[in-house]
């Protein structure tokens, strides 16, 4: 069953105005529900990454409507309704996931399955510490919805009263209601169990602006948003709702921010489906809101779609775009002819913990046996599909990984780092983002000692007692220099032997074993001869 991550509980929001109090000419909007991430949390998110196969054109069109470009995808034109719960973040992210799944099917030449992702499942099924009332009222963040859709998956579920999918959305406009995480499908007529219904995405990206961003930074985010929207489909953004936004109509032109008497409301998450220019020449985003299309008294914007000025960060619309990556192409064919840049255990002191080999932008879990044989566990995958939120390859160094709760830091030459821990019950590894100095090109743990080879001092090999990396290094011989021009990776085989991989003296990719006792190195062999299943 899907498990979707929610932020920790916050103080309950203010009481709602009952929809029954609504009168002609008065619009009662649902409560807000987008909770901004802290600065620390933002830094841990994966940055902008447009889909590899679908690059946007160098020149973007003056107007664009995803509903027209992908007219076969019904979900893009659909306006969901969050009812009187603060679940805009779950409803908007479920909508974007549905849109992009359909677009991915079209791109692959398939007939769209018209899958609707369950907003109820996203809103309820990760944080068991939250009460059903809190699931309705306390909100969340779209980035975390995509993160856990990547790691734990999601189930299907349509709109209110739709009886579509495993878990349709149950909240209407009569008032808030408790939302519980069900371990079975709430739609009794659905023919699958949640386990059979669970699907996954490949990754996600975010692009957060700092407080008071410059116009140049705002425009940079605008281009990213347009590129990804044009190439891959709708995206989610957060915004700050003001009281006069609820009464916006298309004849007013683009909404350009609150008027002088407007009152600020809670944060809100919405879905961007395109852009255009109004009659006054103002460029605007088309946002599909999650307030439904209206009732017999009031319409909601332009049939549920609102226009917000583009390029000025009006109401924070360009502050924090997020989007999932669906069907990332797998260009990883294996390690047999590629240089291995790093092999490391998730817990470097535990040889029974999973080991991963990295090559370029690819990784696969491996086992390393006596004699240095490398056996892949499954097929190589893009790093971003396994180490969720981790840095781009090549991964050339690591640190940490000194126990099951101490994260493994994987680092690329640009100093981009991920602090990564395995996800219980999943084949994924969850990584926060950070920065670090790219240290040793190759290192491993032998008992409590760390052996490290430094790429900026190719003739030296050091051992560090107790894992220390300062003041206790010792030169341990010339064995490597006679066999390798460069060592990229070391991994402990059995506390008596270490596998070295890199470039041999002829400049070809190769691996060899080194005895820990006397530091003698075997003759390097081509990686193809050491990797099984080539």
Contacts 24+ apart (CB under 8 A), 364-367: 364/332, 364/335, 365/427
Contacts of 175 (CB under 8 A, 6+ apart): 16, 18, 19, 84
**326, 98 contact by CB (below 8 A):** no
Tokens of 96: 């974007």
Give CA–CA dist 377/339, Å, rounded.
18
Phi, psi of 492 (to 5 degrees): -75, 130
Q: Which residue has 């190759």 as its token pair?
A: 442
Give the HSE-up count for residue 324: Cα atoms under 13 Å, Cβ half-sphere: 31
Contact 64, 274 (CB under 8 A): yes
Question: Do the beta carbons of residue 259 and residue 51 sit within 8 Å?
Answer: no
Specify whether the CB–CB gap between 268 and 33 falls below 8 A. yes
- Direct distance between the N- and C-terminal alpha carbons of the chain, in angstroms, rounded to an integer: 35
Q: Could you give the residue numbers annotated as active site?
A: 88, 268, 289
CA dist 272 and 265 (Å) reads: 20
Cβ-contact 209, 221 below 8 angstroms: yes
Question: Residue 15: CB partners within 8 Å, gap ≥ 6?
Answer: none
3-state per-residue secondary structure call for 385-435: HHEECCCCCCCCEEEEEEECCEEEEEECCCCEEEEEEECCCCCCEEEEEEE
Six token digits for residue 446: 């032998």
Query: Beta-carbon neighbour count of residue 171 at 10 Å?
Result: 23
CB of 417 closer than 8 Å to CB of 435: yes
Token code pair at residue 393? 């390859």
Report the C-alpha gap between 232 and 104 in whole angstroms: 8
The position carrying tokens 């069109």 is 61
Angle at 489 between CA 484 and CA 491, to 5 degrees: 115
Measure the CA–CA gap between 156 and 162, rounded to whole angstroms: 12
Q: Which residues contact 202 (CB under 8 A, 6 or more apart)?
A: 150, 324, 325, 326, 327, 328, 382, 384, 385
Nearest to 343 by CA among 533, 534, 531, 151: 531
C-alpha neighbours within 13 Å on the C-beta side of residue 236:
32
């Amino acid at each position: 069953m899907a498990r979707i991550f929610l932020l920790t509980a916050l103080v309950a929001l203010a009481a709602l105005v009952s929809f029954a109090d609504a009168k002609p000419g008065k619009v009662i909007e649902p409560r807000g529900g987008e909770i901004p991430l802290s600065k620390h949390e933002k830094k841990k998110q994966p940055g902008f990454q447009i889909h590899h196969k679908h690059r946007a054109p160098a020149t973007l069109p003056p107007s664009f409507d995803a509903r027209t470009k992908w007219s076969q995808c019904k979900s893009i034109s659909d306006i969901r309704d969050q009812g009187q719960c603060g679940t805009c973040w779950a409803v908007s992210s479920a909508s974007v996931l549905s849109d992009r799944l359909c677009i991915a099917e079209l791109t692959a030449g398939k007939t769209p399955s018209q899958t609707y992702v369950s907003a109820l499942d996203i809103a309820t099924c990760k944080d068991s510490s939250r009460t059903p009332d809190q699931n309705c009222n306390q909100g969340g963040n779209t980035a975390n919805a995509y993160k856990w859709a990547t790691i734990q998956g999601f189930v299907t579920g349509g709109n209110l009263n739709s009886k579509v999918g495993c878990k349709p959305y149950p909240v209407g406009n009569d008032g808030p209601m408790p939302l519980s995480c069900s371990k079975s499908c709430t739609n009794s007529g659905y023919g699958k169990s949640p386990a059979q219904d669970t699907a996954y995405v490949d990754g996600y990206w975010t692009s957060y602006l700092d407080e008071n961003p410059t116009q140049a930074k705002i425009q940079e985010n605008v281009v990213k948003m347009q590129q990804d929207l044009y190439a891959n489909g709708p995206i989610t953004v957060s915004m700050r709702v003001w009281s006069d936004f609820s009464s916006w109509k298309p004849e007013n032109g683009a909404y350009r921010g609150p008027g002088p008497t407007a009152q600020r409301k809670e944060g809100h998450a919405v879905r961007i489906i395109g852009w255009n220019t109004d009659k006054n020449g103002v460029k605007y985003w088309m946002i599909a809101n999650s307030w439904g299309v209206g009732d017999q008294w009031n319409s909601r914007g332009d049939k549920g779609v609102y226009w917000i000025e583009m390029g000025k960060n009006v109401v924070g619309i360009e502050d924090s775009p997020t989007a999932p990556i669906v069907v990332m192409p797998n260009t990883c064919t294996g390690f047999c002819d590629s240089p291995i840049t790093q092999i490391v255990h998730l817990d470097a002191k535990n040889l029974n913990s999973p080991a991963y080999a990295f090559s370029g932008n690819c990784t696969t879990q491996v086992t390393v046996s006596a004699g240095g044989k490398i056996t892949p566990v499954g097929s190589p995958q893009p790093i971003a599909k396994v180490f969720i939120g981790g840095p781009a390859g090549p991964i050339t160094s690591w640190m940490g990984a000194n126990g099951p709760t101490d994260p493994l830091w994987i680092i690329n030459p640009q100093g981009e780092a991920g602090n990564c821990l395995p996800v219980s019950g999943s084949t994924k590894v969850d990584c926060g983002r950070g920065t670090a100095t790219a240290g040793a090109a190759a290192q491993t743990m032998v008992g409590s000692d760390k052996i490290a080879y430094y790429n900026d001092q190719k003739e030296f090999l050091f051992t560090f007692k107790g894992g220390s990396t300062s003041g206790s290094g010792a030169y341990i011989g010339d064995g490597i220099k006679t066999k390798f021009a460069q060592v990229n990776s070391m991994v402990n085989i059995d506390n008596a032997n270490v596998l070295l991989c890199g470039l041999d003296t002829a400049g070809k990719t190769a691996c060899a074993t080194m005895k820990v006792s006397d530091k003698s190195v075997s003759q390097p062999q081509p990686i193809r001869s050491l990797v099984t299943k080539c």
